[in-house]
């Protein structure tokens, strides 16, 4: 069957089509060997793609059809009860109680609903179908929509990807493809009978009013459920075993009876104690098979960056550590594991944001000042700057205006307090004037009407961080699928996120305890020798040594640079930066987004042919 399209090899994806003949030609283009297809009640194509059979549960009640796709244990009976709930919204309410991480897709009376997850680890993308009278297509991969709609690269949006340390909300709703947009995780997609798209809010942060003890019980139960749905029916699973968060996942899986193969990657830092704590943990867990990967066998940062060819749907700063991250997944695949559990997301959930102090100040001033003094002392922050941030009541939009103005200033050092709306991102010194102007214009376009993700600085920062880092979990999943391994990050599950955010911030975010919420939640689950751990391994040596050892690979990226061809980077300035000795925390890290973009452009060119900009716009999402 000829389609004229090249979809990712070995990767899962899905495409949702509206119940209209206007997209019939696009459905025909999407058909190829290995593509599964489910119809609307009308018989028109509804759900197409590639996914493992165990990932999909479907149900039908009259003309209402429901599909649950992802990491879950939803039975056909449970899905059928949801389909009989009376409306898609009622079905969605039932689906919210299902543990795991999944997309919900519904078809009823010619209309279609699609919902992902709050953090975006199960993302939803939308694009207007060309020559289809306003009809839209929906997918879980941006590149699928770009291929089907002939969307071209938008160099202005690509320039945003150069920001460090991360992309700002709401620029996160724009992909690098013109006309292909992200549906925020707190919104659902609704397609009418003609395929016209609107979104509506389907999630808000929970009230943060639970005391620590009650919240810890809820987190323990939610983590147990999240792990249980993933290990069900599997003879063996694998897992990272490193810090506090991955230890909690491993212990939860082991206590549930799963045969778990755990891997701990050693680091060169003599103060790195992951291996020590991992061995203490497995000594008390009978069902864990433990493997320590010596530091000398773990790839360094920037390893072989000039030869990466993963088919990711968006650029990823994770490219610089691709081989470090994937070494353990590759070994798990060789061991025969079909599922790899990770502690990704735990830092964001359980360390929390000290910026909650800003919101506590008007309501609980004594508590806020006590916490502020504690954070300022512990991190040796400037008291004057801390006070200025705490008293600053500017709106999020006004803060974005300042970011747009200061895009080319040096990055703030690590002594700057964290009570503001966020860490001010910067463009690197090698960004061209064209790139700077593009990002500044896009920021200012958004600033006039931008709203934070939560009313307070702390809640906003936590949700922004969860969303930003959840995309790394998406990328690891996309890299793991060709190996036959499902990558699972339970801490990004909606129910776990809600449980953690429901705890009073003054209880779970404190300068005097390390991750108190997960520590309390794991009482009786994680062995005591590891439960009270307060240390975290760092990889500064791997970063700085990796730059020196793999400098030739890094410099090779800038020969015939695709980013230079697009007018976004000054290669001379970039090469000069790469030739210097760089500090890991700020200077070297500034390279990560740029490397991610260059690697992504080259990989797409090898796999699909050149990508380039276009002057046309096919429209975007309307709320």
Which of 73, 67, 119, 93 is CA-nearest to residue 494?
A: 119
Which helix (H) or strand (E) element contains residue 416?
Answer: none
Amino acid 610: pLDDT: 56
Mean pLDDT of 516-543: 91
pLDDT band at 471 (very low <50, low <70, confident <90, very high): very high
- Tell whether the model's pLDDT for residue 448 goes beyond 50: yes
- Tell whether the model's pLDDT for residue 391 goes beyond 70: yes
- Tell whether the model's pLDDT for residue 619 goes beyond 60: no
Mean pLDDT of 132-141: 94
Distance CA 368, CA 457 (A): 13
Torsion sign (Cα): 211, 214, 220, 224: negative
Domain 212-350+462-540, CATH: 3.40.50.620
Amino acid 377: pLDDT: 96
pLDDT band at 366 (very low <50, low <70, confident <90, very high): very high
- Tell whether the model's pLDDT for residue 623 goes beyond 50: no
Distance CA 48, CA 466 (A): 29
Q: Which of these ranges, 201-215, 274-288, 577-591, has the smallest mean pLDDT? A: 577-591
Distance CA 69, CA 284 (A): 36
Distance CA 389, CA 395 (A): 12
Mean pLDDT of 46-71: 95
Q: Quick one: CA torsion of 228, 233, 237, 241, rounded to 10 degrees?
A: 10
pLDDT band at 2 (very low <50, low <70, confident <90, very high): very low
Count how many Cα atoms sit within 13 Å of the Cα of residue 204 in the half-sphere of its side chain. Answer: 5
Amino acid 86: pLDDT: 79
- Provide DSSP, 203-263: --PPP--B-HHHHHHHHHHHHHHHHHHHHTT-S-EEEE--SHHHHHHHHHHHHTT--EEEE
Amino acid 611: pLDDT: 52
pLDDT band at 358 (very low <50, low <70, confident <90, very high): very high
Amino acid 442: pLDDT: 96
User: Regarding predicted confidence, which is higher, 363 or 132?
Assistant: 363
Amino acid 3: pLDDT: 39
Amino acid 219: pLDDT: 98
Mean pLDDT of 407-417: 89
Amino acid 6: pLDDT: 65
Sketch the domain layout of the chain as residue ranges.
13-201, 212-350+462-540, 545-608
Q: Are 312 and 210 in contact (CB under 8 A)?
A: no
- Tell whether the model's pLDDT for residue 616 goes beyond 60: no
Mean pLDDT of 195-201: 96
pLDDT band at 604 (very low <50, low <70, confident <90, very high): very high
Structural tokens at position 576: 């000069």
Q: Which CATH number fits domain 13-201: 3.60.20.10, 3.30.70.250, 3.40.50.970, 3.40.190.10?
A: 3.60.20.10
Distance CA 622, CA 357 (A): 35
Instruction: Quickly tell me which residue has 């502020």 as its tokens.
Output: 372
pLDDT digits (tens, 9 = 90+) for 72-123: 999 999 999 999 987 888 899 999 999 999 999 999 999 999 999 999 999 9
pLDDT band at 133 (very low <50, low <70, confident <90, very high): confident
Structural tokens at position 596: 């991610």
Amino acid 622: pLDDT: 38
Amino acid 620: pLDDT: 47
Q: Are 493 and 117 in contact (CB under 8 A)?
A: yes
Which helix (H) or strand (E) element contains residue 570?
Answer: none
Distance CA 346, CA 185 (A): 19
pLDDT band at 434 (very low <50, low <70, confident <90, very high): very high
Distance CA 13, CA 366 (A): 51
- Tell whether the model's pLDDT for residue 1 goes beyond 50: no
Amino acid 490: pLDDT: 98
Residue 270 buriedness (CB in 10 A; 0-12 / 13-18 / 19+): exposed
pLDDT band at 5 (very low <50, low <70, confident <90, very high): low
Which of 172, 177, 204 is CA-nearest to residue 450?
A: 172
- Tell whether the model's pLDDT for residue 621 goes beyond 60: no
Amino acid 63: pLDDT: 85
Amino acid 523: pLDDT: 97
Amino acid 609: pLDDT: 59
């Amino acid at each position: 069957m000829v389609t004229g399209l090249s979809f990712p090899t070995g990767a899962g994806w899905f495409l949702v089509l509206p119940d209209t003949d206007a997209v019939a030609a696009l459905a025909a283009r999407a058909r190829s060997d290995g593509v599964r297809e489910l119809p609307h009640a009308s018989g028109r194509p509804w759900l197409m793609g590639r996914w493992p059979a165990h990932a999909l549960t479907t149900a039908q009640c009259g003309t209402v059809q429901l599909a649950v796709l992802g990491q879950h244990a939803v039975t056909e009976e449970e899905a059928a009860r949801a389909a009989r709930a009376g409306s898609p919204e009622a079905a969605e309410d039932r689906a919210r109680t299902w543990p795991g991480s999944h997309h919900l897709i519904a078809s009823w009376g010619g209309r279609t609903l699609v919902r992902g997850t709050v953090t975006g680890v199960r993302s939803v993308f939308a694009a207007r179908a060309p020559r289809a009278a306003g009809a839209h297509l929906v997918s879980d991969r941006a590149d699928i929509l770009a291929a089907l709609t002939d969307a071209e690269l938008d160099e202005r949006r690509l320039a945003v990807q150069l920001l460090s340390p991360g992309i700002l909300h709401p620029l996160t709703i724009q992909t690098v493809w013109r006309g292909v947009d992200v549906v925020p995780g707190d919104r659902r997609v609704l397609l009418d009978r003609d395929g016209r798209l609107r979104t509506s809010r389907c999630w808000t942060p929970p009230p943060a009013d639970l005391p620590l003890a009650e919240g810890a019980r809820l987190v323990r139960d939610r983590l147990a459920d999240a792990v249980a749905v993933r290990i069900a029916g599997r003879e063996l699973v694998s897992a990272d075993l490193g810090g506090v968060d991955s230890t909690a996942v491993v212990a939860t899986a082991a206590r549930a009876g799963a045969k778990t193969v755990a891997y701990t990657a050693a680091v060169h830092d003599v103060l790195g104690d992951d291996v020590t704590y991992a061995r203490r943990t497995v000594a008390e867990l009978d069902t864990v098979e433990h493997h320590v990967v010596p530091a000398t066998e773990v790839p360094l940062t920037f390893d072989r960056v000039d030869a990466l060819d993963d088919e990711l749907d968006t650029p990823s700063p994770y490219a610089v550590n691709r081989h470090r991250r994937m070494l353990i997944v590759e070994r798990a695949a060789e061991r025969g594991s079909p599922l790899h559990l990770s502690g990704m997301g735990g830092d964001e959930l359980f360390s929390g944001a000290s910026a909650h102090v800003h919101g506590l100040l008007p309501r609980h001033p004594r508590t806020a000042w006590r916490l502020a003094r504690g954070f300022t002392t512990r991190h040796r922050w400037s008291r004057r700057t801390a006070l200025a941030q705490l008293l600053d009541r500017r709106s999020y939009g006004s803060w974005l205006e300042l970011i747009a103005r200061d895009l080319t200033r040096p990055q703030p050092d690590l002594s700057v307090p964290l009570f503001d709306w966020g860490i001010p991102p910067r463009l690197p010194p090698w960004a061209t004037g064209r790139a700077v102007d593009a990002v500044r214009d896009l920021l200012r376009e958004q600033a006039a009407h931008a709203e934070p993700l939560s009313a307070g600085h702390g809640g906003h920062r936590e949700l922004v961080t969860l969303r930003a880092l959840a995309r790394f979990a998406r990328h690891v999943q996309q890299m793991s699928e060709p190996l036959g391994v499902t990558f699972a990050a339970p801490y990004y599950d909606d129910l776990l996120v809600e449980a953690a955010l429901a705890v009073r911030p003054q209880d779970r975010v404190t300068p005097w305890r390390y991750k108190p919420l997960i520590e309390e939640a794991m009482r009786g689950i994680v062995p005591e020798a590891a439960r009270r751990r307060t240390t975290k391994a760092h990889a500064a040596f791997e970063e700085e040594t990796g730059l020196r050892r793999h400098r030739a690979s890094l410099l090779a990226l800038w020969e015939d640079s695709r980013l230079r061809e697009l007018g976004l980077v000054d290669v001379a300035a970039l090469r000069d930066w790469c030739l210097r000795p760089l500090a890991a925390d700020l200077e070297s890290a500034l390279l990560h987004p740029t490397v991610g973009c260059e690697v992504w452009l080259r990989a797409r060119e090898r796999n699909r042919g050149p990508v380039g900009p276009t002057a046309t716009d096919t429209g975007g999402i309307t709320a």
